[in-house]
Amino acid sequence: MSDEHMSNDTHAYAIELKGISKRFGSVQANKDINLQVPAGTVHGIIGENGAGKSTLMSIIYGFYEADTGSIEVDGQSLTIRNSQDAIRAGIGMVHQHFMLVDTFTVLENIILGAEGGALLKDGVAGARKELKRLEQEFNLEVDVDAVVGDLPVGLQQRVEILKALYRGARILILDEPTGVLTPQEADHLFRILHALKEQGVTVMLITHKLREILASTDNVSVMRQGQMVAHRVTKETSKEELAELMVGKKVRLKVDKDVPKIGETVLKASDLTFVDGQGVERLKRVSLELRAGEIVGIAGVSGNGQSELLNVLSGITPMSAGEIQFAGRTITASAPCNAAQMRELKMAHVPEDRHKMGLVTGFEAYEAAILGYHDRPDYNGSILMNRKAMLAECEERMAAWDVRPPNPHLKTANFSGGNQQKIVIAREVEQNPDVLLIGQPTRGVDIGAIENIHEQIVKLRDAGKAILLVSVELDEIMALSDRIMVMFDGAVVGEVSGAEANEQTLGLMMANAWNEEGAAV
Amino acid sequence: MFETIILILDATLRVSTPLILAALAGLFSERSGIVDIGLEGKMLAGAFAAAAAAAVFGSAWIGLMFAILASVALALVHGFACITHRGDHIVSGVAINTIVAGLTVTLGLDWFDLGGQTPALSGDGRFTSITLPFADALADVPVMGLIYSELISGHNILVYLAFAFVPATYWVVYKTRFGLRLRAVGENPHAVDTAGISVAFVRYRAVIICGILCGLAGAYLSTAHNAGFLKDMSAGKGYMALAALIFGKWRPVPVLLACLLFGFLDAVAVRMQGVALPGIGEIPVQAIEVLPYVLTVLLLAGFIGKAVGPKAIGKPYVKERA
């Protein structure tokens, strides 16, 4: 079937973009983009967060209209005004945040917009048959009568792919598809993509992960600051070259660090348990020790208790059972210690979500820079706050941490992700804590700033702090941690030393499919 | 005793009718993600338009048409504010309620000069009771005869319509393409948009259906249940319908049951007027009238669990990556 498709296809390019530009207010999201995607290939688009990849894909899928430029699909010039035009042109898209109705069944989600008649029963039987065929052809098994909200994310993504194929997509765009997947689920996804390619489907893979590009694409295009900066044949390029093209300067993918000088135990948690309002046990008898001069990494697919662990340790949510020994105190469910008191005991916390918990985005930088420490005498006069001292300190920190722009009066919402994160980390670190809890330090932060933040974390370790690092980025956990614990379903399911860790082992542990013999279960 | 029960149930049906119509109206609107606190205002506008038109043209059906027109017009205003301009649904709804409360009286005074009322309707100006076949003949059959002739027969057309709308709503919401899109747009409008369907179009159709049903409810109040328009005659029924909608978790059949329960309490309240209970004495009518509201709060607070509405309800749809 694929051969026939190829021979009938006289057009070499499934998609050709010519001079696409798009501006949002003062931000030039896409600037004069040219792109050619050969039919029947897997084409990678790589770039940092904010490089304009998603905007470009949204233009192809009709979510936005380009200010200038033209789109050709299979050699024909098209105007794509909305998603319906894109679907009609044979373009399907799997969005980064799934476009699914959680309360609907898989079948209902798939037929939405392509119901095949005014009454549902007219289309349903045909849809079932067609889905069965697609499932077999592309190896995409999923229970069509399951409620989507009950499915794991890997399966939800499969539903999205099926949805596109059901609409007859010959060109499939995937926007950051592996962000929420375990390495094994990601591998499965790449096998699916391979099968799609075999059947003649053109795949466009948008990602900021170099490994995925190298492992699964035929060609790759690199975006930087809204522009297309390079096109490469994947086989002829390398991780280093792509990274350099993305960032525009040499970057190190490894963090330099010495052997840790491990001191005594600073914090000891035993059997921490947390039961949420719905009675679900989110944290199951988690025990850990944090020692001075050591980074302990917590790996896991997001939503397996890492957030709850950070919240319980930092005193934000009271534990249900267990105890924490810290700074000469024993903290238990009946003798709790709230977040402010924990801070008094010299524990600092960089929350996972800087927008929800780390910052008040409407505050100016100098105000955000003292949140949680606002009662300190240095910031307060007898009645009013000491604005002068706050501003002076903020300026000093902005210089030390290279926050750009170094303007203490700018609203925190207007800084880039990396600079927001620096404001939060600086705030916590400058209080000279004994223990630093740090969640997703580089989520939504671009590569240049990631490097800077990683260096700072290692520097803190070398200064004898005990650090607990929670991250869903395995690369980050492996690059920084001296010891790695893996969480699954609220419990710690494995622990390895940082030197011994590899992606395979951690990935299997994250999926709770690891046994001591070292084989997948 | 049996006859008393039948009479109370009979009254329950009459009192429940506007609640059912308004609650189903709200169901369409809210399932699409548009909060509608303006049911009250639309109903009142419908009541006024129906009574005024029926008085002028001498036909309840023409009155009904005007009620629907008035109510749909207001629904479109609400849609324009909430869908097109992404305004706050509550503010828009409250504005509609406030404007209608004042406007109906003002227009009534100007047009009819009867202190804000419309002229009393009679004959074809009202929807009158329909006697179902054999109702009179069967009236003397014990039990079943009474149930048939008193309870089931002898209502006006709008009562039967209201009850017929319940299975019809169920069918539309769960069995049709429009229903699927309606439910989807209230849960996740982004999913609907990326599936190539216009979010705004689905929502506008939903608020128009809401307007039609509110118009029916209004016409029932002034041209079927009563014989003319009175100031503020909707008397909180729109809010009670909203409570029934939440109580029934936005599902047609539970919503019907909630409306019937509220209607029953109302019917009992009327019946209890001036009746002294042994040992307790006369119960103030207000104490019983407040029951539906107390019941809603109590039941929602603890007994039936959380009422989880459509996920995207009240949130304006902004075409942006989530």
Indicate which CATH number applies to the domain containing B292.
1.10.3470
Maximal C-alpha separation, chain B: 68
Between chains, do B322 and A97 touch, taking CB under 8 Å as contact? yes
Residue B284 DSSP code: P
What's the sign of the alpha-carbon dihedral B308, B313, B317, B318? Answer: negative
- pLDDT tops 70 at residue B302: no
Burial class (CB in 10 A: 0-12, 13-18, 19+), A513: middle
In contact, B129 and B99? CB cutoff 8 Å: no
In terms of residue numbers, what domain contains B44? 2-126+136-303
- This prediction's pTM: 0.76
Between chains, do B319 and A63 touch, taking CB under 8 Å as contact? yes
Closest residue by Cα to residue A182 from A174, A190, A193: A190
Instruction: Spell out the domains of chain A, with CATH numbers in brackets.
Output: 2-247 (3.40.50.300), 265-355+434-510 (3.40.50.300)
Q: What CA–CA distance (Å, rounded) separates B56 from A197?
A: 71
In contact, A292 and A468? CB cutoff 8 Å: no
Mean pLDDT across B187-204: 94
How many structural domains are present in chain B? 1
> A109 CB near a chain B CB, below 8 Å?
yes
- Residue A7: the pLDDT is 40
- Residue A476: the pLDDT is 87
> A514 CB near a chain B CB, below 8 Å?
no
Phi–psi pair at A350, nearest 5 degrees:
-100, 105
> A104 CB near a chain B CB, below 8 Å?
yes
Between chains, do A58 and B193 touch, taking CB under 8 Å as contact? no
- Residue A26: the pLDDT is 67
Between chains, do A119 and B177 touch, taking CB under 8 Å as contact? yes
Residue at B32 is within a domain: yes
- Residue B13: the pLDDT is 95
Phi–psi pair at A353, nearest 5 degrees:
-110, 100
SS3 state of residue A355: helix
The residue ranking higher by pLDDT, A214 or B97, is B97
Packing angle, helices B252-271 and B2-31, rounded to 10: 140
Residue A520 DSSP code: B
How does residue B303 score in pLDDT terms, banded at 50, 70 and 90?
low
In contact, A48 and A206? CB cutoff 8 Å: no
Q: Scan for tokens 């190829």, then name that residue.
A: A6
In contact, A238 and A220? CB cutoff 8 Å: no
Run of H or E residues at B319 = none
> A115 CB near a chain B CB, below 8 Å?
yes
Residue at B321 is within a domain: no
- Residues of chain B in contact with residue A103, where contact means CB-CB under 8 angstroms, are 183, 187, 311
- pLDDT mean across residues, chain B: 90
Q: What CA–CA distance (Å, rounded) separates B157 from B160?
A: 5
Q: Scan for tokens 């504010």, then name that residue.
A: B81
Between chains, do B196 and A82 touch, taking CB under 8 Å as contact? yes
In contact, B159 and B9? CB cutoff 8 Å: no
Q: What angle do CA A290, A292, A298 make, to 5 degrees?
A: 35
Between chains, do B196 and A84 touch, taking CB under 8 Å as contact? yes
Do the strands A171-175 and A91-94 form a parallel or antiparallel pair, or are they unpaired?
parallel
CA distance, residue A66 to nearest chain B CA (Å):
15
Between chains, do A120 and B190 touch, taking CB under 8 Å as contact? no
- Residue A11: the pLDDT is 60
- Residue B72: the pLDDT is 98
Q: What CA–CA distance (Å, rounded) separates A224 from A66?
A: 18
Q: What CA–CA distance (Å, rounded) separates A161 from A142?
A: 11
Burial class (CB in 10 A: 0-12, 13-18, 19+), A220: buried
- Residue B320: the pLDDT is 57
Q: How far does chain B reach from its first CA to its final CA, in angstroms?
A: 61
Q: Scan for tokens 């404001």, then name that residue.
A: A423
Do the strands A321-326 and A491-497 form a parallel or antiparallel pair, or are they unpaired?
unpaired
Phi–psi pair at A266, nearest 5 degrees:
-100, -35
Mean pLDDT across B35-54: 96
Q: Which residue of A has its CA nearest to B308?
A: A103
Mean pLDDT across B289-318: 76
Do the strands A68-73 and A13-24 form a parallel or antiparallel pair, or are they unpaired?
antiparallel
- Residue A197: the pLDDT is 93
- Residue A521: the pLDDT is 43
Neighbours of B71 (CB within 10 A): 34
- Residue B61: the pLDDT is 96
User: What number of residues does chain B have?
Assistant: 322
Residue at B319 is within a domain: no
Residue at B67 is within a domain: yes
- pLDDT tops 50 at residue B123: yes
CA distance, residue A217 to nearest chain B CA (Å):
25
Closest by Cβ to A112, choosing from B175, B181, B311: B181
> A83 CB near a chain B CB, below 8 Å?
yes
Between chains, do B187 and A87 touch, taking CB under 8 Å as contact? no
Distances in whole angstroms, Cα of residue A89 to Cα of each of A137, A164, B232: 22, 12, 55
Phi/psi-derived region of residue A444, left when phi > 0, alpha when psi is between -120 and 50, beta in every other case? left
CA distance, residue B32 to nearest chain A CA (Å):
13
- pLDDT tops 70 at residue B321: no
The residue ranking higher by pLDDT, A301 or B164, is B164
Q: What CA–CA distance (Å, rounded) separates A139 from A123?
A: 23
- Residue A470: the pLDDT is 94
Between chains, do B195 and A83 touch, taking CB under 8 Å as contact? yes
Phi/psi-derived region of residue A214, left when phi > 0, alpha when psi is between -120 and 50, beta in every other case? alpha
Residue at B317 is within a domain: no
Burial class (CB in 10 A: 0-12, 13-18, 19+), A5: middle
Residue A150 DSSP code: G
Residue at B313 is within a domain: no
In sequence order, the 6+-apart residues with CB closer than 8 A to the CB of B80 are: none
In contact, A297 and A481? CB cutoff 8 Å: yes
Mean pLDDT in consecutive groups of 10 residues from the start of chain A, 521 residues? 43 89 82 93 86 89 91 91 91 90 94 91 91 88 91 90 93 88 85 91 89 90 90 89 73 71 93 86 93 93 86 93 93 91 92 88 90 88 89 91 87 84 91 92 79 88 94 86 92 90 81 59 43
Neighbours of A491 (CB within 10 A): 16
What's the sign of the alpha-carbon dihedral A311, A314, A317, A318? Answer: positive
A308-322, A394-408, B64-78, B280-294, range with the lowest pLDDT: B280-294
- Residue A2: the pLDDT is 41
Phi–psi pair at A29, nearest 5 degrees:
-75, -40
- pLDDT tops 80 at residue B205: yes
> For an interface test with A, which of B183, B194, B251 has the most A Cβ atoms less than 10 Å from its Cβ?
B194
> For an interface test with B, which of A24, A85, A101 has the most B Cβ atoms less than 10 Å from its Cβ?
A101
Distances in whole angstroms, Cα of residue A408 to Cα of each of A365, A367, A373, A403, A417: 5, 8, 17, 10, 16
Q: What CA–CA distance (Å, rounded) separates A7 from A12?
A: 11
Phi–psi pair at A376, nearest 5 degrees:
-60, 145
- Residues of chain A in contact with residue B181, where contact means CB-CB under 8 angstroms, are 112-113
- Residues of chain B in contact with residue A111, where contact means CB-CB under 8 angstroms, are 180
